């Protein structure tokens, strides 16, 4: 079985960051979002991956991911010429798959507790398709499975106005080669009103043509950092759950660390207080500052005379003389400074290379 991870999409919910950066490569808990998908599939035993991309993005995607050797995997890059839906993403991978079964794992979903059990069930039970579902209080903004009185899947509807239950489909799909039959014949699937080949349409076609499509509930924690508030919450959850104290940088005698703090190589903490869970990348310098819980600081950042908590700082962010930055997401190469001592907190959601003077 092979894996498919898409890296395209418009990322409109994460603008302005996605004007210049693909959301799959924005960090959550100091790790690019797409890394979670890759590692989840690798832990489930997948080794061969199709990484789909849109026009103009190949160099950027390869820069982040390489050939897969970092994880002991094999990556093949496949162009999706136009962002016209998840079903089309699978369609453009047909030659790569060569009739093999596949799993489509969206690059912006995090299945925190792994998917090995679901992969094993798909391989053992051998349905033609398998759709994962979760309980979600806002499932009317997602795909929703519908069942008959015997709990058999009868249809799969995208964003229904009044779902009959709280189940939703979170972005993990399995199928065999029969999936591709939905693109052929007189009754082949057609683009939706928004011009996309929707993944629910493909599975609905399989159901209507009496292929066996099963549904399994995911029992673990699922995160969907698709918009600003969700991103901050996902960062908080992952830091809280996985941060372990690991000090590779230097800390002077005037600094204090509390709780779990991860400090990477060539980073310096000088006359500062760090209260975890906090993750700090490489070549970071923090001087006379306070870094509070649930903060992730990427490589190359510099923080001077400032206070930050519950925030995500991307690479090479410089913060000087700013008190009480809270609940913020700051794009790479940004600079924030002030010439006065503000008494209130600041919330930032800014794209890369921003310059803010308070």
Sequence-distant (6+) residues with CB within 8 A of 313 are 295, 296, 297, 298, 301, 319, 330
Cα dihedral 201, 207, 211, 214, rounded to 10, equals: 100
pLDDT tens figures, 72-116: 999 999 999 998 999 999 999 999 999 999 999 998 899 999 999
Mean per-residue pLDDT of the chain: 90
Say what percent of the chain tops pLDDT 90: 68
pLDDT tens figures, 303-313: 999 999 999 99
The crossing angle, in degrees rounded to 10, of helices 33-43 and 58-65 is 60
Positive or negative, the CA dihedral 144, 111, 329, 327 is: positive
- Asked if the peptide bond before residue 101 counts as cis, ω within 30 degrees of 0, the response is no
Return d(Cα 348, Cα 70) in angstroms, integer: 33
pLDDT tens figures, 189-242: 999 998 999 998 999 999 999 999 999 999 999 998 877 788 899 999 999 999
DSSP H stretches of helix in the chain = 33-43, 58-65, 86-91, 94-97, 116-125, 199-208, 228-242
Domains and CATH numbers, the chain: 2-232 (3.90.550.10), 245-357 (2.160.10.10)
pLDDT tens figures, 309-351: 999 999 999 999 988 899 999 888 888 888 665 556 665 555 5
pLDDT band at 152 (very low <50, low <70, confident <90, very high): confident
Query: pTM for the full model?
Result: 0.89
- Nearest CA to 229 among 323, 329, 346? 329
pLDDT band at 141 (very low <50, low <70, confident <90, very high): confident
């Amino acid at each position: 079985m092979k894996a498919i991870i898409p890296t395209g999409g418009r990322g409109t919910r994460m603008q302005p960051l996605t004007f210049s950066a693909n959301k799959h490569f924005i960090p959550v808990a100091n790790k690019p979002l797409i890394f979670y998908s890759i590692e989840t599939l690798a832990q489930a035993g997948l080794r061969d991956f199709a990484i789909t991309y849109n026009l103009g993005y190949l160099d950027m995607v390869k820069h982040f991911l390489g050939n897969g050797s970092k994880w002991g995997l094999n990556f093949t890059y496949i162009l999706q010429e136009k962002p016209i839906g998840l079903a089309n993403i699978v369609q453009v991978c047909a030659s790569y798959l060569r009739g093999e079964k596949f799993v489509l794992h969206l690059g912006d979903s995090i299945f925190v507790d792994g998917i090995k059990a679901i992969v094993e069930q798909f391989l053992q039970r051998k349905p033609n398709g398998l759709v994962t579902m979760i309980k979600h209080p806002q499932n009317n903004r997602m795909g929703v499975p519908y069942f008959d009185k015997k709990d058999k899947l009868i249809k799969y509807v995208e964003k229904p106005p009044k779902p009959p239950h709280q189940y939703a489909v979170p972005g993990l799909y399995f199928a065999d080669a029969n999936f591709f039959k939905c693109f052929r014949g007189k009754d082949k699937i057609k683009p939706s009103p928004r011009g996309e080949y929707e993944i629910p349409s493909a599975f609905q076609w399989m159901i209507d043509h009496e292929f066996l499509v099963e549904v399994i509930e995911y029992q673990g924690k699922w995160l969907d950092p698709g918009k600003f508030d969700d991103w901050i919450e996902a960062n908080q959850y992952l830091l809280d759950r996985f941060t372990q104290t690991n000090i590779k940088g230097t800390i002077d005698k005037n600094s204090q660390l509390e709780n779990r703090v991860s400090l990477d190589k060539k980073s310096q903490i000088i006359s500062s207080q760090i209260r975890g869970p906090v993750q700090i990348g490489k070549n970071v310098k923090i001087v006379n500052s306070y870094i509070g819980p649930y903060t992730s600081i990427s490589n190359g950042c510099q923080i001077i005379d400032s206070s930050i908590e519950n925030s995500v700082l991307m690479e090479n962010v410089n913060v000087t003389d700013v008190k009480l930055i809270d609940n913020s997401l700051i794009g790479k190469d940004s600079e924030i400074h002030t010439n006065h001592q503000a008494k209130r907190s600041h919330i930032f959601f800014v794209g890369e290379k921003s310059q803010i003077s308070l």
